[in-house]
Amino acid sequence: MRIDWLLGVVWIVGFGAFLIAAIWLVRRSERRLSVGPSDPDAPIAPEPSSSDAISAYLDRVSGELLLPAADVAEVRAELADHLQDSIASLEAEGLDRERATREALARLGSADELGRNLRQAHQSTRRLLAGVGGGVFAAGGGFVLGYLGGVLIALLLAMVVFVITSVLARLGLPLPDLGDHGDTLNSVLLGISVAAAAALATRYAVRTSAGLSRRAPRSIAIFWAAAGAVGFGWYSIFGMRGAQSWPGIVVDLCIPVVVVAAAFVRIERPMPHVGRWAVAILLVSVVGVSVLGFAFSAASVSGDALPALVEGGQANQPVDMHFDTVAPLAPAAWLPSGNQFYGGGSGPDWDGTQITAVVGPDAVVPMSTAMANWHDVRFEAWHGFLDNPSVSYGIDPHYSSPFAVQPAAVHDTYLDAVFHFERMRSAGSWWVMLTAVGPDGHRYRLSDGDGGSSHFNGSAWDWLTAPL
């Protein structure tokens, strides 16, 4: 086992720096979005005791601004200060208070026009670009943080489910056996994690880009909601691969809705911020998970290896494997040199599971010769018992027909076919047999086949369009 520690350290430091930068950017941008007495960064001068005319004027200006709350408060305070100064000057010139106020307001011009001009001045193209870039960056950080948070939530849910099922089992209540090796739970937990990540990413993006581009969060939320619903919706339906189940599919399909809700619901309100301890715990988690990931990746064993190959014609099977359920064994006279077809090998392919068959190991016969007596040669996939070999082994006799059939492709020295068990919702344990129609017109099995176990591994779309 060899671990590239330099790469690991660079990766961990870079990742941590990215998260800290994203959190810093969000917090900094958010300062523009809210103003309150507890906000130390709000540089707002107190609005002077204004007359009704001044208040009405400022209200009309504010109505046209459509800026974040801090900017609106700043503009109001600045204009109020300006008007106060202007009124004082006019009063010094001899005007009474009422005329001075009217004159001061008149010199600023139309409130609506001033508001629009100020809005255009704030919402420059440069700030819009900064908002888009900052929003994308913050969304990246939010996605990672949300995913980690979602994993924690999912683990808590898993623990709750475990406790409930344990209690029910102790009470002797019958529990439904999903029989899917945890695929349902895994797919639901993955969906919850991604939903949390998408929600936080969208929220980070809206608030950051609103603060940087000086736009009201709700006016910008619609763009991020649309982009997030399309982007995360695409990812949840087409891009997120792994174990699937119907409950998991429901969670996946809810992700676009979650994104839209995250973009709009209480978007003006500040988010609960990640405190120092949370950052510390997060960094420790990232470091720990990264180290474990590197350690395990160095020593990982690939794949859903097929556990057993049954060699054709061998009599070391202690139990009845119900091979005759498929078809009777081919008469030796019709087989090349009397050899049964070797069960062949199978291996998980990147794009399916390849099943091969060759003529017995002691007889190297060209496949064209071997197949002289046979036609309609095909591989048949039957449900099997491989999941629990101690109980039974071989073909599950409860089924009277194969669940998948592939014609054998004839090569120079072997036959093969590719099965996509990982795209079938309920492949589970399987056993693949080579069968063909003999000279008498009956179908026989040419080998005792090969068994394995597969779980669905694909996207939500693959699941929805998978053969039953």
Partner 1 sequence: MTTAGGPNGGNDATLLSRERDHVLKTLGDDALSGPAILRRMIGRPAEPGDQGLLYPALHSLEAGWALRAEWATDAAGKRRRTYRRRRFLPILPSRTKRS
Contacts with partner 1, residue ranges (CB under 8 A): 43-46, 74-75, 77-79, 81-82, 85-86, 106-110, 113-114, 116-118, 120-122, 124, 126-127, 214
Integer-rounded Cα radius of gyration of the chain: 35
Other C-beta atoms lying within 10 Å of the C-beta of residue 328: 12
User: Least distance (Å) from partner 1 to the CB of residue 74?
Assistant: 7
User: Least distance (Å) from partner 1 to the CB of residue 222?
Assistant: 23
What span, in angstroms and rounded, lies between the C-alpha atoms of 356 and 367?
A: 12
- Could you tell me if 179 and 239 are in contact, meaning their C-beta atoms sit under 8 angstroms apart? no
Question: Which one, 77 or 227, has the nearer CB to partner 1?
Answer: 77
Other C-beta atoms lying within 10 Å of the C-beta of residue 246: 12
User: Least distance (Å) from partner 1 to the CB of residue 110?
Assistant: 7
Q: Which of 379, 443, 447 lies closest to 410, judged by CA? A: 379
User: Least distance (Å) from partner 1 to the CB of residue 108?
Assistant: 5
Other C-beta atoms lying within 10 Å of the C-beta of residue 389: 15
Rounded to a whole number, what is the distance in angstroms from the first to the last CA of the chain? 42
Question: Which one, 106 or 299, has the nearer CB to partner 1?
Answer: 106
What is the residue type of 56? A
What span, in angstroms and rounded, lies between the C-alpha atoms of 6 and 18?
A: 18
User: Least distance (Å) from partner 1 to the CB of residue 71?
Assistant: 9
Question: Which one, 106 or 468, has the nearer CB to partner 1?
Answer: 106
User: Least distance (Å) from partner 1 to the CB of residue 268?
Assistant: 22
User: Least distance (Å) from partner 1 to the CB of residue 210?
Assistant: 15
Question: Which one, 48 or 328, has the nearer CB to partner 1?
Answer: 48
Question: Which one, 87 or 415, has the nearer CB to partner 1?
Answer: 87
- Could you tell me if 447 and 357 are in contact, meaning their C-beta atoms sit under 8 angstroms apart? yes
What is the residue type of 80? A
Question: Which one, 79 or 432, has the nearer CB to partner 1?
Answer: 79
3-state secondary structure of 209: helix
Scanning the structure block, which residue is given the tokens 């996939």? 381
Question: Which one, 124 or 297, has the nearer CB to partner 1?
Answer: 124
Residue 406 pairs in a beta bridge with 379
Question: Which one, 83 or 408, has the nearer CB to partner 1?
Answer: 83
User: Least distance (Å) from partner 1 to the CB of residue 7?
Assistant: 38
Instruction: Dump the DSSP string for 157-194.
Output: HHHHHHHHHHHHHHTT-------STTHHHHHHHHHHHH
In what helix (H) or strand (E) does residue 377 lie, and over which residues does it extend? Answer: strand 375-383
What span, in angstroms and rounded, lies between the C-alpha atoms of 255 and 199?
A: 8
Question: Which one, 81 or 304, has the nearer CB to partner 1?
Answer: 81
User: Least distance (Å) from partner 1 to the CB of residue 84?
Assistant: 9
User: Least distance (Å) from partner 1 to the CB of residue 39?
Assistant: 13
Question: Which one, 77 or 418, has the nearer CB to partner 1?
Answer: 77
Question: Which one, 213 or 429, has the nearer CB to partner 1?
Answer: 213
In Å, how far from its chain's centre is CA 426? Answer: 22
Other C-beta atoms lying within 10 Å of the C-beta of residue 266: 10
User: Least distance (Å) from partner 1 to the CB of residue 214?
Assistant: 8
3-state secondary structure of 121: helix
For helices 52-65 and 97-108, give the axis angle rounded to 10 degrees.
20
Q: Structure tokens of 202?
A: 């969208």
In what helix (H) or strand (E) does residue 418 lie, and over which residues does it extend? Answer: strand 415-419
